[in-house]
């Protein structure tokens, strides 16, 4: 009997050792084509830098990464996710870039039970609010999270009392605007107008012409190449009201292509390139050396997703084959290092992290985001009661409602 037990133990140890020798397969949902491709390139720079720094190994396992181009299309994101799981048999997936892509693959991820670490998609409603999936881990917060802080800052610090809003007409645009709207009005401000240009609108002229000018400031929520096009139109129409933008409005990835029209723009983000920490300074210097660019949140978020995965792997000693333990470990990570600042998951499994308020300035002939305020430990619920928040209406194009609309 002892001989049989010893033999069985030997077989199990050999199997475990063999599994350890297999590469750790990571699926990566990127965007290489279409209007969001610039963000996809920055995401890849983030993960590639981390893997280069680690000698292409995480927690003792050689990494095999499989990139899949979703083109920023929800249907394609779902089919590419299925390929990664069923053909490439990945142990975990990092991505996708956009909120509407993440929503499109949510049900499949739950069915397939393959962990998804989202580094940039910022869905609030389904992924973060009502459907609590053990298989989805957000490294970044929700679309509304940074906008809570910005709405608070606009009303309490920037003297903005009456405001017009304009944002991309898709999920990310809706939810970011909703978070700003709610907190701004709770702080005493009034939103008097909302405009929703289509994501691929060819020209912003008709929308710029509709913007009210009898307000104190304007909220602008755009992604991809749209911030550049909107700001140029804003300047062409002679509009000079202070602008408050979402994380992607003047992110470093697009700020380098802007001119003086961006100077003075306020924004809020989960990442600040000028954050004064050794980890962030090292990260920024490495990206600049490797890719000759200044990193923004797409790059920092994906690098941080890699750090998160690494810490979870350390907790299970690289044994992703112990699926239940690996999934638990992903939720147990408390990240204290890295470029973004401390991150931990809250009671409902979504991140609590710093939000940085920035203002665009020109320094040394270059446009830069300068951090002017930090809101520590912001959750997806801001200061609201979590249970009431979850039970309440979901953020959307029409919620919060426009109570102070003016003709």
Domain limits, the chain? 17-142+278-352, 144-275+354-391
Strands (E), 222-320: 243-245, 266-269
What would the 3-class secondary structure string for 304-318 be?
HHHHHHHHHHHHCCC
Distance CA 352, CA 356 (A): 13
* 332: three-class secondary structure by DSSP: helix
pLDDT tens, N- to C-terminus, the chain (407 residues): 545 444 444 444 444 444 456 999 999 999 998 878 888 999 999 999 999 999 999 999 999 999 999 999 999 999 999 999 999 999 999 999 987 898 899 899 999 999 999 987 665 544 444 556 789 888 888 899 999 999 999 999 999 999 999 999 988 899 999 999 999 999 999 999 999 999 889 999 999 999 999 999 999 999 888 999 999 999 999 999 999 999 999 999 899 999 999 999 999 999 999 999 999 999 999 999 999 999 999 999 999 999 999 999 999 999 999 999 999 999 999 999 999 999 999 888 789 999 999 999 999 989 999 999 999 999 999 999 999 998 899 999 999 999 999 87
Identify the CATH assignment for 17-142+278-352 out of 3.40.50.720, 3.20.20.150, 3.40.50.2300, 3.90.1150.10.
Answer: 3.40.50.2300
Q: Is 223 left (phi over 0), alpha (psi -120 to 50) or beta?
A: beta
Sheet with strand 136-138: strands edge to edge: 57-58, 61-69, 24-30, 92-94, 116-118, 136-138
Place of tokens 């084959």: 321
Same fold, 17-142+278-352 and 144-275+354-391: yes
pLDDT value at residue 141? 82
Distance CA 281, CA 274 (A): 8
Q: Is 90 left (phi over 0), alpha (psi -120 to 50) or beta?
A: beta
Q: Which residues pair with 191 in a beta bridge?
A: 163
Instruction: Characterize 341-359 residue by residue with b for buried, 16 or more Cβ atoms within 10 angstroms of its Cβ, and e for exposed.
Output: bebebeeebbbbbbbbbbb
Tell me: domain 144-275+354-391, CATH 3.40.50.970, correct? no
Residue 384, C-beta contacts closer than 8 angstroms, at least 6 positions apart: none
**What predicted TM-score, i.e. pTM, was given to this entire model?**
0.89
pLDDT value at residue 7? 46
Asked if 218 contacts 165 with a C-beta cutoff of 8 angstroms, the reply is: yes
């Amino acid at each position: 009997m002892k001989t049989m037990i010893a033999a069985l133990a030997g077989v199990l140890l050999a199997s475990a050792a063999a599994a350890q020798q297999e590469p750790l397969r990571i699926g990566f949902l990127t965007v290489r084509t279409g209007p969001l491709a610039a963000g996809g390139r920055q995401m890849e720079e983030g993960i590639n830098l981390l893997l280069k720094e680690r000698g292409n190994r995480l927690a003792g396992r050689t990494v095999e990464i499989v990139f899949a181009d979703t083109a920023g299309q929800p249907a394609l994101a779902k089919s590419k996710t299925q390929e990664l799981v069923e053909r490439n048999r990945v142990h975990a997936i990092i991505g996708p870039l956009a909120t509407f892509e993440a929503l499109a693959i949510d049900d499949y991820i739950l069915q397939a039970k393959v962990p998804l670490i989202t580094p940039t998609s910022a869905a609030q409603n389904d992924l973060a609010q009502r459907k609590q999936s053990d298989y989805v881990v957000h490294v970044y917060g929700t679309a509304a999270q940074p906008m809570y802080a910005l709405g608070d800052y606009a009303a309490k610090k920037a003297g903005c009392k009456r405001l017009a809003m304009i944002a991309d007409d898709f999920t990310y645009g809706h939810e970011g605007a909703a978070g700003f709207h709610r907190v701004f009005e709770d702080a005493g401000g009034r939103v008097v107008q909302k405009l929703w240009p289509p994501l691929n609108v060819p020209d912003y002229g008709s929308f710029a012409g509709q913007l009210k000018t009898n307000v104190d400031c304007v909220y602008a929520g755009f992604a991809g190449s749209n911030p550049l096009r909107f700001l140029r139109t804003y300047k062409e129409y002679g509009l000079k009201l202070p602008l408050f933008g979402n994380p992607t409005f003047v992110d470093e990835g697009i700020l380098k292509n802007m001119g003086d029209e961006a100077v003075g723009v306020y924004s809020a983000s989960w990442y600040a390139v000028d954050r004064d920490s050794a980890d962030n300074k090292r990260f920024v210097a490495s990206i600049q050396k490797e890719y000759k660019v200044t990193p923004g949140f797409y790059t920092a978020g994906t690098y941080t997703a890699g750090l998160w995965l690494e810490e979870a792997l350390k907790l299970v000693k690289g044994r992703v084959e112990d699926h239940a333990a690996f999934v638990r470990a992903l939720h147990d990570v408390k990240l204290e290092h890295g470029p973004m600042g401390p991150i931990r998951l809250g009671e409902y499994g979504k991140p609590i992290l710093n939000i940085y308020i920035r203002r665009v300035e020109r320094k040394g002939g270059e446009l830069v985001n300068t951090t002017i305020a930090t809101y520590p430990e912001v959750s997806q619920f801001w200061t609201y009661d979590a249970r009431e928040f979850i039970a309440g209406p979901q953020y959307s194009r029409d919620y919060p409602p426009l109570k102070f609309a003016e003709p």
